[in-house]
């Protein structure tokens, strides 16, 4: 389908692979890039390359960060005995935006999904259990309210409760199947305040 240029077709093909980008959006982006100045294109490709090369997992909480320890794990102002478990760094950012949570996080980078063949070993769960050998008061499970998020929450609770650590689950109020990152701060805080002990 090289109606115009094999280079443009290739660009459209690459953009189409990105999440949420259909073929029309991919074409729009590709033509936009062709019309950008050389400097603008260099800035864009440079940002992509350097993000890929420099972003890594925090040694403690596994969020994506530029340094060995993320700013949250480095901070003495945070309560390091309260760990909120989230599915991804975007969910962490959603809670950080509320400005009201002063504990630390653990980022799983996914959720258990038997349907997609994602098991406990495919997410950062062993790493969480390892952290719990320290002095921890509470684990707040803030995975999404999707089937995968709930499955993960139950799995985590069963794993952690025998260790004698308090495990809580954020309250409903978070719409079913809702991605945490799209929910407003007020709803997030209500869900956090109304968290319940997991059985």
At closest approach, how far in Å is the CB of 71 from Zn ion? 8
> 58 or 192: whose CB is closer to Zn ion?
58
Among 11, 12, 26, 70, binds Zn ion (CB under 5 A): 70
Segment contacting Zn ion by CB under 5 A, of 3-11, 69-77, 120-128, 190-198: 69-77
DSSP-assigned states of every residue in 77-127: TSEEEEEEEESSHHHHHHHHHHS---EEEEE-SS--BGGGTB-GGGTTHHH
Q: Specify the DSSP element, H or E, that contains 65.
A: strand 64-65
Please return the burial class of 105, using the count of CB atoms within 10 Å of its CB with bins 0-12, 13-18 and 19+: buried
DSSP 180: G
DSSP-assigned states of every residue in 116-127: GTB-GGGTTHHH
Among 11, 12, 73, 140, binds Zn ion (CB under 5 A): 73
At closest approach, how far in Å is the CB of 64 from Zn ion? 10
Among 61, 123, 125, 160, binds Zn ion (CB under 5 A): 61
Question: Strand 166-169 and strand 196-197: pairing?
Answer: antiparallel
60 binding Zn ion? (CB under 5 A): yes
58 binding Zn ion? (CB under 5 A): yes
Give yes or no for a contact between 143 and 108, defined as CB atoms under 8 angstroms apart.
Answer: yes
Segment contacting Zn ion by CB under 5 A, of 11-19, 64-72, 85-93, 153-161: 64-72
Segment contacting Zn ion by CB under 5 A, of 54-62, 134-142, 143-151, 186-194: 54-62
> 97 or 158: whose CB is closer to Zn ion?
97
Binding interface with Zn ion (CB under 5 A):
58, 60-61, 70, 73
């Amino acid at each position: 389908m090289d109606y115009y240029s094999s280079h443009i077709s290739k660009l459209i093909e690459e953009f189409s692979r990105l999440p949420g980008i259909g073929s029309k959006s991919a074409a729009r982006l590709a033509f936009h890039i062709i019309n950008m100045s050389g400097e603008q294109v260099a800035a864009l490709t440079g940002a992509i390359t350097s993000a890929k090369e420099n972003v890594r997992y925090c040694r403690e909480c596994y969020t994506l960060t530029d340094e060995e320890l993320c700013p949250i794990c480095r901070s003495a102002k945070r309560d390091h005995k309260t760990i909120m478990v989230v599915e991804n760094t975007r969910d962490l950012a959603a809670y950080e935006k509320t400005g009201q949570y002063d504990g630390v996080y653990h980022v799983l980078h996914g959720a258990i999904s038997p349907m997609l063949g994602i098991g406990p070993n495919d997410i950062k769960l062993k790493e969480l259990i390892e952290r719990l050998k320290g002095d921890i008061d509470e684990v707040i499970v803030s995975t999404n309210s999707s089937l995968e998020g709930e499955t993960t929450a139950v799995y985590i609770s069963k794993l952690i409760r025998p260790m004698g650590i308090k495990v809580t689950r954020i309250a409903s109020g978070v719409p079913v199947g809702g991605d945490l990152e799209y929910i407003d701060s007020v709803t997030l805080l209500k869900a956090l305040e109304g968290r319940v002990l997991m059985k």
